[in-house]
Amino acid sequence: MVAWLLLFLEFLVPWNRICPRPDQPRIFHEPHHLAAGLTAQAARSLEERISYWSGMFLGAPYAVDPMGEGAGPDPDPVVELCSFDCETYVELVLALAFSRTPPEVTTWLDRMRYLHGRRDMSTRYYTMALHWIPGNEKLGYLSPLGLRPYATVSRPVFPGGRWWPVHRERFALLGENAPSGLAQVRYNPIHVLLEQEARIPTPTLAFLVGARQIGNPFLITHMGFILTRADGRRVFRHASRTPGRLKVEERELSDYLRSLRRHFNEPANPRRYVLGMSLYRLQDPPPAPEAAR
Protein backbone atom coordinates (compact mmCIF):
# COMPACT_ATOMS: atom_id res chain seq x y z
CA MET A 1 0.00 0.00 0.00
CA VAL A 2 2.82 2.43 0.85
CA ALA A 3 4.54 1.82 -2.50
CA TRP A 4 1.24 2.38 -4.31
CA LEU A 5 0.74 5.73 -2.57
CA LEU A 6 4.29 6.81 -3.40
CA LEU A 7 3.59 6.21 -7.07
CA PHE A 8 0.45 8.36 -6.73
CA LEU A 9 2.44 11.14 -5.08
CA GLU A 10 5.00 11.12 -7.89
CA PHE A 11 2.13 11.86 -10.25
CA LEU A 12 0.04 14.23 -8.16
CA VAL A 13 2.44 16.52 -6.29
CA PRO A 14 3.34 18.73 -9.29
CA TRP A 15 -0.31 19.62 -9.83
CA ASN A 16 -0.91 20.83 -6.28
CA ARG A 17 2.47 22.58 -6.16
CA ILE A 18 2.41 24.92 -9.14
CA CYS A 19 -1.05 24.99 -10.76
CA PRO A 20 -2.65 28.30 -9.76
CA ARG A 21 -5.51 28.25 -12.29
CA PRO A 22 -8.88 27.70 -10.55
CA ASP A 23 -10.40 26.09 -13.66
CA GLN A 24 -7.98 23.16 -13.70
CA PRO A 25 -9.87 19.85 -13.53
CA ARG A 26 -10.19 18.38 -10.05
CA ILE A 27 -9.67 14.85 -11.33
CA PHE A 28 -5.95 15.19 -10.57
CA HIS A 29 -6.29 16.56 -7.05
CA GLU A 30 -6.75 13.25 -5.23
CA PRO A 31 -5.63 9.70 -6.11
CA HIS A 32 -9.13 8.24 -6.00
CA HIS A 33 -10.44 10.87 -8.46
CA LEU A 34 -7.76 9.99 -11.00
CA ALA A 35 -8.27 6.25 -10.51
CA ALA A 36 -12.01 6.68 -11.05
CA GLY A 37 -11.40 8.78 -14.17
CA LEU A 38 -9.09 6.20 -15.71
CA THR A 39 -11.59 3.44 -14.94
CA ALA A 40 -14.46 5.41 -16.45
CA GLN A 41 -12.52 6.03 -19.67
CA ALA A 42 -11.29 2.45 -20.06
CA ALA A 43 -14.34 1.24 -22.01
CA ARG A 44 -14.32 4.13 -24.49
CA SER A 45 -12.61 4.14 -27.89
CA LEU A 46 -9.02 5.34 -28.21
CA GLU A 47 -10.07 8.54 -29.95
CA GLU A 48 -12.62 9.26 -27.22
CA ARG A 49 -9.96 8.75 -24.56
CA ILE A 50 -7.44 10.95 -26.35
CA SER A 51 -10.09 13.63 -26.89
CA TYR A 52 -11.07 13.49 -23.20
CA TRP A 53 -7.57 13.72 -21.75
CA SER A 54 -6.22 16.20 -24.30
CA GLY A 55 -9.22 18.43 -23.60
CA MET A 56 -8.35 18.48 -19.89
CA PHE A 57 -5.34 20.68 -20.57
CA LEU A 58 -6.72 23.15 -23.11
CA GLY A 59 -5.58 26.61 -22.08
CA ALA A 60 -2.60 25.42 -20.04
CA PRO A 61 0.47 27.63 -20.64
CA TYR A 62 3.39 26.69 -22.84
CA ALA A 63 6.76 25.94 -21.21
CA VAL A 64 9.98 24.63 -22.72
CA ASP A 65 10.90 21.09 -21.59
CA PRO A 66 8.86 21.12 -18.35
CA MET A 67 9.36 17.42 -17.51
CA GLY A 68 12.58 15.77 -16.41
CA GLU A 69 13.89 13.01 -14.20
CA GLY A 70 13.14 14.70 -10.87
CA ALA A 71 16.88 14.77 -10.09
CA GLY A 72 20.26 14.97 -11.81
CA PRO A 73 20.95 17.21 -14.83
CA ASP A 74 17.22 17.80 -15.39
CA PRO A 75 15.46 17.91 -11.99
CA ASP A 76 12.10 18.97 -13.43
CA PRO A 77 9.21 16.76 -12.27
CA VAL A 78 8.69 13.36 -13.84
CA VAL A 79 5.05 14.29 -14.45
CA GLU A 80 4.09 17.90 -15.13
CA LEU A 81 0.38 18.76 -15.22
CA CYS A 82 0.48 22.53 -15.26
CA SER A 83 2.42 23.54 -18.38
CA PHE A 84 3.55 21.79 -21.54
CA ASP A 85 5.62 21.85 -24.64
CA CYS A 86 4.42 19.97 -27.70
CA GLU A 87 6.20 16.72 -26.83
CA THR A 88 5.28 16.52 -23.15
CA TYR A 89 1.65 17.33 -23.98
CA VAL A 90 1.47 14.43 -26.45
CA GLU A 91 3.28 12.06 -24.09
CA LEU A 92 1.10 12.79 -21.06
CA VAL A 93 -2.16 12.55 -23.01
CA LEU A 94 -1.14 9.22 -24.55
CA ALA A 95 0.06 7.87 -21.20
CA LEU A 96 -3.32 8.71 -19.67
CA ALA A 97 -5.19 7.24 -22.64
CA PHE A 98 -3.24 3.97 -22.43
CA SER A 99 -3.42 3.55 -18.64
CA ARG A 100 -5.99 1.85 -16.43
CA THR A 101 -4.43 2.82 -13.07
CA PRO A 102 -2.43 5.88 -11.98
CA PRO A 103 0.87 3.99 -11.54
CA GLU A 104 0.64 2.89 -15.17
CA VAL A 105 0.81 6.54 -16.26
CA THR A 106 4.41 7.01 -15.11
CA THR A 107 5.31 3.60 -16.53
CA TRP A 108 3.99 4.64 -19.92
CA LEU A 109 5.80 7.98 -19.76
CA ASP A 110 9.08 6.19 -19.09
CA ARG A 111 8.51 3.80 -21.97
CA MET A 112 7.73 6.69 -24.35
CA ARG A 113 10.57 8.96 -23.27
CA TYR A 114 13.53 6.68 -22.57
CA LEU A 115 15.55 3.92 -24.17
CA HIS A 116 14.31 0.61 -22.71
CA GLY A 117 12.06 2.65 -20.38
CA ARG A 118 15.01 3.44 -18.10
CA ARG A 119 14.50 6.91 -16.66
CA ASP A 120 17.80 8.76 -16.92
CA MET A 121 19.06 11.77 -18.88
CA SER A 122 21.58 9.53 -20.62
CA THR A 123 18.78 7.37 -22.05
CA ARG A 124 16.22 10.07 -22.89
CA TYR A 125 15.20 10.16 -26.54
CA TYR A 126 16.64 13.07 -28.53
CA THR A 127 15.41 13.94 -32.04
CA MET A 128 12.14 12.56 -33.30
CA ALA A 129 13.46 10.95 -36.48
CA LEU A 130 16.22 8.78 -34.97
CA HIS A 131 15.04 8.29 -31.38
CA TRP A 132 11.44 9.07 -30.42
CA ILE A 133 9.53 7.78 -33.43
CA PRO A 134 11.43 4.47 -33.83
CA GLY A 135 11.31 3.89 -30.07
CA ASN A 136 7.58 4.51 -29.89
CA GLU A 137 6.80 2.47 -32.99
CA LYS A 138 8.26 -0.49 -31.10
CA LEU A 139 5.61 0.02 -28.40
CA GLY A 140 2.96 -0.97 -30.93
CA TYR A 141 0.65 2.05 -30.89
CA LEU A 142 2.19 4.11 -33.70
CA SER A 143 2.38 3.33 -37.42
CA PRO A 144 3.01 5.56 -40.47
CA LEU A 145 0.12 6.56 -42.69
CA GLY A 146 0.37 6.00 -46.44
CA LEU A 147 -1.24 9.25 -47.61
CA ARG A 148 0.06 10.10 -51.10
CA PRO A 149 1.75 11.89 -52.72
CA TYR A 150 4.60 12.34 -50.27
CA ALA A 151 8.17 13.60 -50.26
CA THR A 152 11.22 12.91 -48.10
CA VAL A 153 13.87 14.99 -46.41
CA SER A 154 17.03 13.66 -44.79
CA ARG A 155 20.26 14.68 -43.10
CA PRO A 156 23.15 12.94 -41.34
CA VAL A 157 23.07 13.24 -37.54
CA PHE A 158 26.06 12.30 -35.42
CA PRO A 159 27.89 13.33 -32.24
CA GLY A 160 30.67 15.80 -32.88
CA GLY A 161 28.81 17.61 -35.63
CA ARG A 162 28.83 21.38 -35.91
CA TRP A 163 25.64 21.74 -33.90
CA TRP A 164 24.45 24.74 -31.97
CA PRO A 165 25.75 24.73 -28.34
CA VAL A 166 22.43 23.53 -26.86
CA HIS A 167 22.55 20.45 -29.09
CA ARG A 168 26.23 19.77 -28.43
CA GLU A 169 25.48 19.74 -24.70
CA ARG A 170 22.72 17.18 -25.14
CA PHE A 171 24.84 14.96 -27.36
CA ALA A 172 27.53 15.01 -24.67
CA LEU A 173 25.05 14.08 -21.91
CA LEU A 174 23.68 11.20 -23.98
CA GLY A 175 27.14 9.74 -24.60
CA GLU A 176 26.92 6.37 -26.36
CA ASN A 177 23.10 6.71 -26.58
CA ALA A 178 23.28 9.90 -28.67
CA PRO A 179 21.41 9.70 -31.99
CA SER A 180 23.65 8.79 -34.89
CA GLY A 181 22.85 7.93 -38.49
CA LEU A 182 20.90 9.22 -41.46
CA ALA A 183 17.68 10.87 -40.27
CA GLN A 184 15.05 10.51 -42.98
CA VAL A 185 11.46 11.73 -42.73
CA ARG A 186 8.60 11.09 -45.13
CA TYR A 187 6.01 13.87 -45.19
CA ASN A 188 2.98 15.17 -47.04
CA PRO A 189 3.34 18.74 -48.30
CA ILE A 190 0.86 21.27 -46.95
CA HIS A 191 -1.07 21.57 -50.23
CA VAL A 192 -1.59 17.78 -50.25
CA LEU A 193 -2.89 17.85 -46.68
CA LEU A 194 -5.34 20.63 -47.54
CA GLU A 195 -6.56 18.79 -50.64
CA GLN A 196 -6.93 15.44 -48.85
CA GLU A 197 -7.90 16.52 -45.33
CA ALA A 198 -11.02 14.34 -45.43
CA ARG A 199 -8.86 11.24 -46.05
CA ILE A 200 -6.81 11.66 -42.87
CA PRO A 201 -8.10 9.09 -40.36
CA THR A 202 -8.38 9.97 -36.72
CA PRO A 203 -6.87 9.75 -34.20
CA THR A 204 -3.60 10.67 -35.91
CA LEU A 205 -0.35 11.99 -34.48
CA ALA A 206 1.02 14.71 -36.76
CA PHE A 207 4.64 15.86 -36.84
CA LEU A 208 5.59 19.16 -38.49
CA VAL A 209 8.59 18.73 -40.76
CA GLY A 210 10.98 21.63 -41.26
CA ALA A 211 13.65 22.30 -43.83
CA ARG A 212 17.23 21.46 -42.90
CA GLN A 213 19.07 24.07 -40.86
CA ILE A 214 22.79 24.47 -40.29
CA GLY A 215 23.61 23.59 -36.69
CA ASN A 216 20.22 21.99 -35.95
CA PRO A 217 19.88 18.17 -36.02
CA PHE A 218 16.07 18.28 -35.92
CA LEU A 219 13.96 17.69 -39.00
CA ILE A 220 10.72 17.45 -36.99
CA THR A 221 9.91 20.69 -35.23
CA HIS A 222 6.47 20.19 -33.66
CA MET A 223 3.79 17.58 -32.92
CA GLY A 224 0.11 17.33 -32.01
CA PHE A 225 -3.11 15.37 -32.39
CA ILE A 226 -5.52 15.36 -35.33
CA LEU A 227 -8.94 14.44 -33.95
CA THR A 228 -12.55 14.42 -35.10
CA ARG A 229 -14.92 16.30 -32.81
CA ALA A 230 -18.45 15.16 -32.04
CA ASP A 231 -19.73 17.73 -34.57
CA GLY A 232 -17.60 16.14 -37.32
CA ARG A 233 -14.96 18.86 -37.52
CA ARG A 234 -11.30 17.82 -37.77
CA VAL A 235 -9.12 19.71 -35.31
CA PHE A 236 -5.45 19.96 -34.38
CA ARG A 237 -4.73 19.96 -30.63
CA HIS A 238 -1.23 20.94 -29.57
CA ALA A 239 0.89 23.00 -27.21
CA SER A 240 1.62 26.07 -29.33
CA ARG A 241 4.90 27.96 -29.10
CA THR A 242 3.73 30.67 -31.50
CA PRO A 243 4.13 34.18 -30.01
CA GLY A 244 0.75 35.48 -28.88
CA ARG A 245 -0.60 31.94 -28.36
CA LEU A 246 1.79 30.08 -26.03
CA LYS A 247 -0.75 27.60 -24.69
CA VAL A 248 -2.42 24.27 -25.30
CA GLU A 249 -5.07 24.98 -27.91
CA GLU A 250 -7.41 23.51 -30.47
CA ARG A 251 -7.50 24.75 -34.07
CA GLU A 252 -9.61 23.63 -36.98
CA LEU A 253 -7.22 21.54 -39.03
CA SER A 254 -7.78 23.35 -42.32
CA ASP A 255 -7.29 26.74 -40.65
CA TYR A 256 -4.11 25.54 -38.97
CA LEU A 257 -2.69 24.22 -42.24
CA ARG A 258 -3.45 27.47 -44.02
CA SER A 259 -1.80 29.41 -41.20
CA LEU A 260 1.35 27.30 -41.58
CA ARG A 261 1.47 28.10 -45.27
CA ARG A 262 0.83 31.78 -44.62
CA HIS A 263 3.14 32.41 -41.67
CA PHE A 264 6.06 30.09 -42.35
CA ASN A 265 6.35 29.61 -46.07
CA GLU A 266 6.13 33.09 -47.60
CA PRO A 267 9.48 34.20 -49.10
CA ALA A 268 9.37 37.49 -47.20
CA ASN A 269 8.90 35.71 -43.88
CA PRO A 270 12.18 34.87 -42.06
CA ARG A 271 10.73 31.95 -40.09
CA ARG A 272 11.90 28.42 -40.78
CA TYR A 273 10.33 26.87 -43.84
CA VAL A 274 7.72 24.22 -42.99
CA LEU A 275 7.71 21.43 -45.55
CA GLY A 276 4.58 19.62 -44.37
CA MET A 277 3.44 16.96 -41.91
CA SER A 278 4.48 13.39 -41.23
CA LEU A 279 1.35 11.48 -40.19
CA TYR A 280 1.15 8.45 -37.91
CA ARG A 281 -1.91 6.40 -37.09
CA LEU A 282 -2.65 5.87 -33.38
CA GLN A 283 -4.03 2.57 -32.13
CA ASP A 284 -4.38 0.80 -28.81
CA PRO A 285 -1.03 -0.74 -27.84
CA PRO A 286 -0.51 -4.39 -26.97
CA PRO A 287 -0.08 -5.10 -23.24
CA ALA A 288 3.29 -4.07 -21.87
CA PRO A 289 5.51 -7.05 -20.99
CA GLU A 290 5.34 -6.20 -17.29
CA ALA A 291 1.53 -6.00 -17.48
CA ALA A 292 1.25 -9.36 -19.24
CA ARG A 293 3.02 -11.29 -16.50
For the stretch 50-69, pLDDT in tens is 999 999 999 999 999 999 99
Question: Domain 143-282: which topology?
Answer: putative xylanase like fold (2.30.260)
pLDDT greater than 80 at residue 40:
yes
For the stretch 108-161, pLDDT in tens is 999 999 999 999 999 999 999 999 999 999 999 999 998 999 999 999 999 999
- pLDDT-above-90 percentage for the chain: 77
Helices (runs of H) and strands (runs of E) counted in the chain: 10, 8
The domain 2-124 having CATH identifier 1.10.3670.10: the answer here is yes
Residue 293: other Cβ atoms inside 10 A: 6
> The dihedral of CA 110, 113, 117, 121: what is its sign?
negative
Q: How does residue 270 score in pLDDT terms, banded at 50, 70 and 90?
A: low
Q: Between these two residues, 163 and 261, which has the higher pLDDT value?
A: 163
CA distance 206 to 253: 11
Average pLDDT along the chain: 88
Q: Between these two residues, 32 and 149, which has the higher pLDDT value?
A: 149
Residue spans per domain, the chain: 2-124, 143-282
Mean pLDDT of 269-293: 77
Q: Which amino acid is present at 192?
A: V
Weakest mean pLDDT among 14-18, 84-88, 97-101, 157-161: 14-18
2-124 and 143-282 share one CATH topology? Answer: no
pLDDT greater than 70 at residue 76:
yes
Contacts of 269 (CB under 8 A, 6+ apart): 263
Q: How does residue 5 score in pLDDT terms, banded at 50, 70 and 90?
A: very low
